[in-house]
Amino acid sequence: MSNYRNFKDYHIEQLRDPEDAKIYLSVALEDYEKNEDIEAFLLAVRDVAEAQGGMSKLAERVNLTHEGLYKALSENGNPQLNTMSKILHGLGLKFSIEAREN
């Protein structure tokens, strides 16, 4: 029997920590700014949602339908700013603005 753990399980376990989730999403957002890869950012949000009880619980917390939440965070999702703000709020996070480094 192997002592190795499934990476996805380990990853989700780590994202249960609010500080780790914040850092993970911050890095994903920085990557989005560099590469415009919205799919990677939305995957990161889905990972944090899974770590915090799943998409169904998040949908309830943010008062969105399950279908609406899944659509917003899907690979082809393009959520509006107010939807993304609700989702982040439901995850215990918020947007912030910083000056760009030159």
Residues 6+ apart with CB under 8 A from 93: 21, 22, 25
Q: Does pTM surpass 0.85?
A: yes
Residue 30 vs residues 49, 75, 76, 79, 100: alpha-carbon distances, Å = 19, 18, 19, 18, 11
Report mean pLDDT in 10-residue bins for the chain, 102 residues: 79 95 94 91 96 95 93 92 95 89 78
